[in-house]
Chain A
Amino acid sequence: MLLTSHYHILLSALLCILACSSLQKWQPLDTDLVNVQHHHPDIKIQDLKTGYKLYIEQCSGCHALHHPSEYSITQWDSILPEMFSQAKINNPNEKLFIKQYLYSKTKSQN
């Protein structure tokens, strides 16, 4: 009886989670791509998606994520070198993808 009720609680919780989706304000959109392409014409939407994924994976382990629009490109440029070092992100491509994602949604871009 107890086990059955616990099973139902856990199942309900799992279903709730399956219904959850990423909040749209964080996802790379076509409008973000257009904004960032003014400065970097070669960027593709896939690059922004890769940067978005890396940003969540690499940065959320140490702190709650900041939305890119909280800072300007200049501010991100001063924050990122120290953060890359702390999170041990050494791969130049990974750094570039994360930067491009953040730039695409910064204050000045929006």
Chain B
Amino acid sequence: MLKYNQLCEIINNLYMKINLIFFPFLLTSLMSVVQDRYFARAYTSNVLPKGTIDLEFWHTSRFERKDQFYFAQDQRIEFEAGLGHNIQTSLYLNNNHVRFSESKDETTTKSELGFSNEWKWKLFDPTVNKVGFALYGEWGIKGGDELELEAKLIFDKIFDKHIYVFNAVYEYEKEFEWKNNQIESEQGNQTTEFIVAYQYLIKPTFGLGFEIQNENAITNDNIWEYSLVSGGPTLNFRQGKWFAIINYLPQWSNLHKTASAPFNKVLDRKENHNVRLVFGVNL
């Protein structure tokens, strides 16, 4: 009679054999279609062809704040579909998890789930036209009490192996509270961002570049709180049907110091380091 350990060993061996047989087929099938995304932060104007669907997994780690332990992880699963006529839409399932310290001796955690939906409309192609251009809009809900709206102007240009991108982004966030037995909300917070990115395609399957982001926070009283510049390298690997992009984005400098953000870095409400990994598969 078989013992439990022997049974486990047989199942493990069987599992490994199945993997060995099927893995090359899986790899071959994944390498049959090219897909396109170059940056972890900056958006390019290209849209998926009609009927094409992408599945993307995002992971962002944000850490190091002043006088506090802080580690946040943002995870997104994105279903992206080309609708034809240069229009693309995406659905995101978002999960945000933060561990932070509230005292010297202990940390606590906070998690939020969210959903968002983006639309992108390409008007000019980065190769055929002098400048590529697309309009982008996104709406989302987070944690059951926050509404987010985002609009982007996307500019890009492809010269042979060189990719240049500029994004102008406007974000609006509004929080709702349950007070006096009814839902109440204050005027929302606004952020404008400018992103400049460049990438050199060393090979069709490998690109190296950088992304620089300028984030401007505006309070609900229309006060410009800070103008934070962050920037760092981006690596882009593409092979057949999948791609992987990684970017490291540390804070550089606060260009607009105010009473609420008086230092060269904004470390009381923003993280010093930010790393993002995007992995995508074409379905």
Does B209 interact with chain A (Cβ within 8 Å)? no
Q: Are A22 and B129 in contact (CB under 8 A)?
A: yes
Enumerate chain B residues within 8 angstroms of A86, measured Cβ to Cβ.
Answer: 32-34
Q: In the complex where A62-B36, A87-B49 touch, is A57 in contact with B84 (Cβ < 8 A)?
A: yes
Residues of chain A at interface, number, CB under 8 A: 29
Instruction: Give the secondary structure class of B's interface.
Output: loop
**Separation in Å of the A95 CB from the closest CB of chain B?**
13
Does B85 interact with chain A (Cβ within 8 Å)? yes
Whole-angstrom CA separation of A15 from B41 in the bound complex: 25
Size bracket, chain B contacts: 35 or more
Does B224 interact with chain A (Cβ within 8 Å)? yes
Enumerate chain B residues within 8 angstroms of A88, measured Cβ to Cβ.
Answer: 49-52
Does B98 interact with chain A (Cβ within 8 Å)? no
Whole-angstrom CA separation of A88 from B82 in the bound complex: 11
Enumerate chain A residues within 8 angstroms of B35, measured Cβ to Cβ.
Answer: 62
Q: In the complex where A57-B86, A61-B82 touch, is A13 in contact with B128 (Cβ < 8 A)?
A: no
Query: Could you say which of A1, A14, A20, A58 contacts B49, with CB atoms under 8 Å apart?
Result: A58
Whole-angstrom CA separation of A61 from B120 in the bound complex: 12
Kindly report which residue of chain B lies nearest to residue A59, judged by CB atoms: B49
Q: In the complex where A13-B153, A13-B168, A87-B49 touch, is A61 in contact with B128 (Cβ < 8 A)?
A: no
Does B215 interact with chain A (Cβ within 8 Å)? no
Does B155 interact with chain A (Cβ within 8 Å)? yes
Does B127 interact with chain A (Cβ within 8 Å)? yes
Does B123 interact with chain A (Cβ within 8 Å)? yes
**Separation in Å of the B33 CB from the closest CB of chain A?**
5
Q: Mark A71-103, 1 if CB is under 8 A from B, else 0.
A: 000000000000000111100000000000000
Top 4 closest pairs, chain A to chain B, by CB: A65-B127, A61-B49, A2-B224, A20-B130
Residues of A that sit less than 8 Å from B by CB: 1-3, 6, 9-10, 13-14, 16-17, 20-23, 26, 56-65, 86-89
